[in-house]
């Protein structure tokens, strides 16, 4: 049974992604164009939806398009990229932990500003808002 090639508009409609995004993914090599119509429209095999689902999930987990391309290239060579996926996920966990620490530091700074001295007895012409312009101890 031969599979029917999907036009880019159909892929866009069924995937919920803009045509421009699908074109971009194809240009990056994330999606394989299986041919073109007489009118020049890109055609994709039905596995395009599996790849798009993989791309969306990987992006949701914080992987870059370059990371995703690397994983799909491994898959296209006939291998499962699971070991490389694990490496990428460990890197993402480290990045998330760093972001959490940065956000905790920001939260402490914001709380310090809210609970700190919020008025200046003699505002100068350079004072816009003392709350934001005050320096916290250690900053």
Per-residue pLDDT tens digits of the chain, which is 139 residues long: 456 899 999 999 999 999 999 999 999 999 999 999 899 889 999 899 999 999 999 999 999 999 999 999 999 999 999 999 999 999 999 999 999 999 999 999 899 888 875 555 566 788 888 777 776 565 5
Q: How far apart are CA 95 and CA 37, in angstroms?
A: 44
Closest CA to 132 of 116, 117, 113, 119: 113
Q: Are 4 and 34 in contact (CB under 8 A)?
A: no
Q: Give the count of beta carbons closer than 10 Å to the beta carbon of residue 5.
A: 18
pLDDT at 128: 83
For residue 1, what pLDDT is reported? 45
């Amino acid at each position: 049974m031969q599979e029917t090639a999907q036009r880019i508009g159909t892929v866009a409609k069924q995937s919920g992604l803009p045509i421009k995004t699908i074109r971009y993914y194809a240009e990056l090599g994330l999606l394989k164009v299986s041919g073109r119509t007489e009118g020049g429209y890109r055609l994709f095999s039905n596995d395009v939806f599996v790849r798009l689902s993989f791309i969306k999930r990987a992006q949701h987990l914080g992987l870059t398009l370059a990371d995703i391309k690397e994983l799909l290239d491994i898959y296209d060579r006939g291998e499962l990229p699971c070991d490389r996926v694990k490496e990428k996920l460990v890197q993402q966990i480290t990045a998330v932990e760093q972001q959490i620490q940065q956000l905790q530091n920001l939260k402490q700074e914001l709380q310090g500003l809210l609970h700190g001295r919020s008025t200046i007895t003699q505002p100068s012409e350079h004072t816009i808002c003392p709350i934001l312009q005050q320096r916290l101890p250690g900053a």
